[in-house]
Structures are given as structure tokens and as C-alpha cells.
Chain A
Amino acid sequence: MGIISSGFHGRRQNGNPALPPGQYETGGFPVLTAGPAPRIPIEDWEFFITTEAGQRHAWSWDAFMALPQMDIDTDIHCVTSWSKLGTSWRGVSLDTLFENVETSCGFTMAHSYGGYTTNLPLPDLLGGRAWVAWEFDGEPLERAHGGPARLLVPHLYFWKSAKWINGIELTQDDDPGFWESNGYHTHGDPWREERYS
């Protein structure tokens, strides 16, 4: 146990088993970004996956929307200690997008419009644990929250769920992305409190 602050009583939220260590629940949906929100018209939008062999798989918005869509109910956890429980999303599973992708790489770099990047091990994107989401709470995803579409990897801290997602690059090594080069953990599992490097 740490230093006791006897005048501090708190709210006793973290008895909630849905909250990872050090997290508290918020009812809002805070917006946290490193710079201005890019503006991406649907007609210019695409999502790509590139492999180490130079193969490029890409979907236009229409092609992306023609893929099987899933509803996702999940909790999200931000490294700044807020968690939002029971959020609902709609999008395409990365399992679907990776169906015809051949690779021996173990890692990925997610690239966003606006230049943001974040690195993820490939296994964290597969197995029904990651999506490209375009709807939040029944409404098209707002630009401030990453619209038209963002990565949704809710089992990792939310900076891994790259807003304004543009594509995934398969990589041999676990190279650091944007926040990972700026003091944050390379993996980001909230249940292990992988916050900072």
C-alpha cells in the first residue's frame, strides 16, 4: 500500500471488475489527440494492407462497406486513466480484411491520415479482437473521434485504436509508432498497466 491520504475518500469505482488497475469510469467520451483533426472525404478514403513482399490490398469506402459488418459492444480504456464501459460500435473485423493477406511478419504499423502511427503485434489484430469501425453509438463516427473510420483494438489502451485509419503495414520488427516513440509502452495492455516505456 502506498502513502495514505487520510482526508481522501474517493468514489470506490475501482472495485468494479470491468475496470483495469488504475482506471476510473467516465460517462463522457474525452477527445485526446496530438494535433488537428484531418478532414478525409469519403470519396478519397481508402484502407490498405501492405505486406513484406510488396503486395498491397486496398478497399475504397464502397468496397469496405460491402464487406461483412459487425456490431461490437466493448469497454475502452485510455492510458490517461479513464475507461468507458459498454460502448457500441459497428465496423469490419480485421480478420475479414486479412483473409487474403499472406505474410510471415509478426508485427504491424497502423498508419493514419494526418501522419499518426501506432505499432501492434499482428496477433493483437486477429482472432476477433480488432476492427475498422465507422459507427459509434448508432451514428457515423465523428471526425473528432476518428471519422470516417478508426481502428478499434479495445483490449489495448486506446491510443492503439488509431483515429482516421488509413492502413496497416506489416513489419518484421516491433518498431515504435508515434506515442511509443514519445514515452508510451510498446504494447499497451491495460490489465498489465503497460502505460509508459
Chain B
Amino acid sequence: MSTLWRVADVVSSMPETESARTIGLRVNGQNGKLAGQHIDIRLTADDGYTAVRSYSVARAGMDETLEITVDELVNGEVSPYLVRELAVGDQLEIRGPVGGWFVWKPTDTNPVQLIAGGSGIVPLMSMIRAHHASENPAQFRLLYSLKSPEAGFYREELQTLGQESRKLIIDYVYTRKVPKGWPTAPQRLTAEPLLATILPKDPAPDIFICGQTVFVETVAEWLVQAGYPAASIKTERFGGTGGTR
């Protein structure tokens, strides 16, 4: 079912940063989505040439819509088209959403620590939105590592959520440039401040890490060494090669 190619209508398109765009898609009969899943997108050129890439879902709507956020890769084959060319009213083909591992369900009761590096925020945002829309009272905490304030996705929404939600705490780390009036200089993320800003081992949070390979591997390693059970840590690499293994 989820593995068939289906036609999706582009129903919205909003720049997220200078290089990233959030694209809303509607698919007839779309249902059964979980926060954290990805879709495959297939583009076909006018001579029949096709290319397929995986993208994490940023918002798994309750209706027939979903949103992805695509970061343009330098020399990418598919992402420049999605970010620069694709327009509302266009159609493309999608498969999925798929994936049953890197997902959060409203029935999950554990506290949740999310750790995002750059565009790795996308599937984690889907979880934050699903959590916010649910009655689930579990504590969520997001650590969002960014090059600069301008590189942040979903800035206004996260700011509002961070101020208004009692069940979501958001922490930022800026690695190259900090916002005006920020208390510290830009800094590389290191183990000590990371461990000081995430939910403690007790009571055993579920941990989701998404970002570039080095970020994910490094952070996961710190957590294991600090005594977080490996089984509680789910990782996803985010980049040109898609959502999952």
C-alpha cells in the first residue's frame, strides 16, 4: 500500500531559510502517517529520465496533506529543483510515508529528548508538532544545534511553542554566529554542555538524534559514554542520501 507511487499535488511552498523550502503536498487517500517517517519523491524529466530521493516529513497532517522541508545541496540533483523550481499547482510522485523505527507515537509515554543538527530538525519537528497536537503530557526537550540564527528552520513556530508550551523545552547551540544579545560566543557542541542541557538519564528518556553523519555519531557516542542506554537512542542521518539506512 504505502509502497505504490502516487501523484501528489503541491499545495504550498514557503521559503524556510536562504537554501531551504517547506513544500506542502496533498495525496488522495493519504493516511496512517507517523511522526518521524520519510517519503520518497520521484521526479521525471520530459525524456522519461527519473530520479528518486528520500525526504523526512516535517508535518504529518491529520488530513491528506503532509509537508517536507528540503535543504538545497550544493551540486544536488533533485534538491535544487525542489527548492528553486517547483511551484504550487505542480505535481510529482511520492511513495510512503514509510519507516517504523525513527518515529514517535502519541501513545508513547516516556519523556523525549530530541537532538537536531542543522536540517536534522525536520523529522524531529514532525514529532514536536504531533506531540503538541496531542493530549500526551510527556515532557519533550529539543536541543537544536545551528550554525547561525538565520539557518534555523521553523523559527517563529518554535519560538511560540517554546514560550507557550509547558511540555516542551527548547535549547539552542550556535556554532558559528549567535543572535544579538546571546550570553555566550559561538561554540562547537561538546559533550559537557550537551549533557547539561538534555533530560537526565533518570527517568529514562527516549532519545532521537538527527543530523549529518559526524554529528549523529559523535552525539550518540557521548550519550552512551554518559550512561544513557544504547537501546534508548534512535539515530537518523540527514543529508543527500535520504532518511534511513
Contacts and interface: CB of A to CB of B under 8 A. Distances in A.
Interface string B19-46: 0000000000000000000001011111
Given A7-B81, A22-B52, A32 B44 contact: no
Contacts, number: 137
Contact of B2 (A10, A24, A31, A196): A196
Contacts of B139: none
Interface string A137-164: 0000000100000000000001100000
A197 B100 CA distance: 11
A92 interface: no
B120 interface: no
Q: What size tier do the contact residues of chain A reach?
A: 35 or more
A9 B7 CA distance: 19
Interface stretch (A65-73, A125-133, A176-184): A176-184
Given A5-B92, A8-B44, A24 B234 contact: no
Nearest to B38: A80
Contact of B49 (A10, A34, A178, A181): A10
From B86, B223, B242, residue with most partner A Cβ within 10 Å: B242
Interface of B: 2-3, 5, 7, 40, 42-46, 48-54, 77-78, 81, 85-86, 90-93, 95-96, 98-102, 213, 217, 220-221, 223-224, 230-231, 233-235, 237, 239-245
Interface of A: 1-12, 14, 22, 24, 26, 30-38, 78-82, 114-115, 144, 158-159, 178-179, 181-183, 195-197
Given A5-B81, A8-B45, 12 more contacts: A2-B7, A2-B44, A4-B45, A8-B43, A24-B51, A26-B240, A30-B237, A35-B231, A36-B224, A37-B220, A196-B96, A196-B98
